[in-house]
Amino acid sequence: MQLEYIGAFQVVLGVLARFWPVWLAMAIVLVASFNFRKHLGLYGQLFDSGVGIAGVGICFFWLFTAIFAAKVAPFDPLSQIPVMKDALPGAIEPASKQVYLFGGDKLARDVFSRMVFGSQIVLIIAPAATAFALMVGITLGLPAGYYGGRIDSFLSFLANLVLAFPVILLFYLLVTPGIMDTPIPYAMAGVFFLFPIIFFSVLFYTRFKSRPERIYLLLGLTLLLGGWVYVGLVFNADPLGIISIDPNQLNIFVAVVFASSPGVFRIVRGLTMDIKTRDYVAAAQTRGETPWYIMLWEILPNARGPLIVDACLRIGYTTILLGTLGYFGLGLAPESPDWGTAIKDASRLLRSFIHPALPPTIALMSFVLGLNLLADALREQSMKD
């Protein structure tokens, strides 16, 4: 069957038009943020520089793309229409008259739709894995830096042991096919997913232990919600069927947390060793505050600047890692629309105009660029503070 095509200019207009929910959401959020920036703390200060605005804008673009993916993408990312196999950009699908804006891949799937839905995978795994790595690193780094001695020596030894292991080989071992048939990933997930529950329980207890009406409510909610998420993620046994994670995604999740936590640990440990010598920490010790209260409510808030910057950079590193693993066919399912898998699937196809590997490559690059710009802006603001 002979396919009909639209021109290059129409392709560009079509792409811009498909993102209309993203443009609308960005306009509302950015205009509101700019007008109320003086009341938005650190986030509002990002709008004082061009770098900050660019970083926020790019990150919001991909965030809203992931949220409105079903509206933006004209096709299901897994649907295959045989006549559209290796179709050039601008090809019109005969049945629906919808356009394959960036063409079709070797399995006749719409490249544009797969790029859009790929953002969902990145924006779920990368920030969530980074958040868990922060929880593990903070929970272990604070006592190591505050107490020192044997606790510091033991925890630092474990962190250095992981950091000394070749990263590529480490990820290969943790995400290689067949590893999910062993209890290793689930055991590691069972340990890592406990840290947020422990962190928030200790956080609320140290702050509100003298106020029973508040502490019982907060601890109850922490244990209830934390236990619900824990059971759903680790055992896939959520009684409501809301919280679950694909085994392949769990594998990557655990690998990222395991590899990133030691780096966070070392940063938190160093910051704690510096901040614990400050006068306000000595004042809290004089008041008789407990060590964990001092760590969580005196030291940690004053270390938030470097940690926020590091979190932005780590999300970028994780995004690149997901792309690398997908390119080598490790971790996620072969039919996954993640950007790395899309680049791998298109790498052997040669054609002019818009190569099918180009859209996911630019998507990955732009998202990481936005995170780096955001980290630079946050670093500048933290230095001013």
pLDDT tens-place string over residues 225-245: 999 988 888 887 777 778 877
Same domain, residue pair 55 and 131: no
Report how far apart the first and last C-alpha atoms of the chain are (Å, whole number). 65
What is residue 223's predicted lDDT score, i.e. its pLDDT?
A: 93
Same domain, residue pair 152 and 184: yes
Same domain, residue pair 179 and 90: no
What is residue 283's predicted lDDT score, i.e. its pLDDT?
A: 92
Same domain, residue pair 98 and 220: no
Q: What is the pLDDT of residues 157-203, one digit of tens each?
A: 999 998 888 777 777 777 776 666 677 778 888 899 999 999 999 99
CA distance 71 to 21: 8
CA distance 230 to 243: 9
In a domain, 354, yes or no: yes
**Residue range 337-355: average pLDDT?**
71
CA distance 380 to 187: 40
> Is residue 351's pLDDT more than 60?
no
What is residue 339's predicted lDDT score, i.e. its pLDDT?
A: 87
> Is residue 352's pLDDT more than 60?
no
Same domain, residue pair 69 and 172: no
CA distance 329 to 253: 16
**Residue range 367-373: average pLDDT?**
93
Least confident of 97-111, 125-139, 275-289, 346-360: 346-360
Containing 92, the helix (H) or strand (E) segment is strand 91-92
Share above pLDDT 70 across residues of the chain, in percent, rounded to a whole number = 95
Same domain, residue pair 252 and 166: yes
In a domain, 104, yes or no: yes
Which domain-ending residue is among 262, 283, 317? Answer: 317
Same domain, residue pair 180 and 210: yes
**Residue range 31-44: average pLDDT?**
89
CB burial of residue 372 (10 Å; 0-12, 13-18, 19+) = middle
Count of domains in the chain?
2
pLDDT class of 331 with cuts at 50, 70, 90: low
What is residue 348's predicted lDDT score, i.e. its pLDDT?
A: 62
pTM of the entire predicted model: 0.88
Same domain, residue pair 16 and 38: yes
Same domain, residue pair 175 and 306: yes
Same domain, residue pair 90 and 106: yes
Same domain, residue pair 193 and 268: yes
Mention every residue, 6+ apart, whose C-beta is less than 8 A from residue 133. Answer: 256, 257, 260, 261, 264, 314
In a domain, 322, yes or no: no
Residue numbers of the domain that contains 361: 4-119+337-384
User: What is the number of other CB atoms lying within 10 angstroms of the CB of residue 75?
Assistant: 24
In a domain, 131, yes or no: yes
Q: What is the pLDDT of residues 68-117, one digit of tens each?
A: 999 999 999 988 888 888 888 888 888 888 899 888 888 888 989 999 99
In a domain, 325, yes or no: no
Mean pLDDT over the full length of the chain = 87
Q: How far is CA 282 from CA 95, 269, 273, 288, in A?
A: 73, 18, 13, 10
In a domain, 331, yes or no: no
CB 113 within 8 A of CB 75: yes
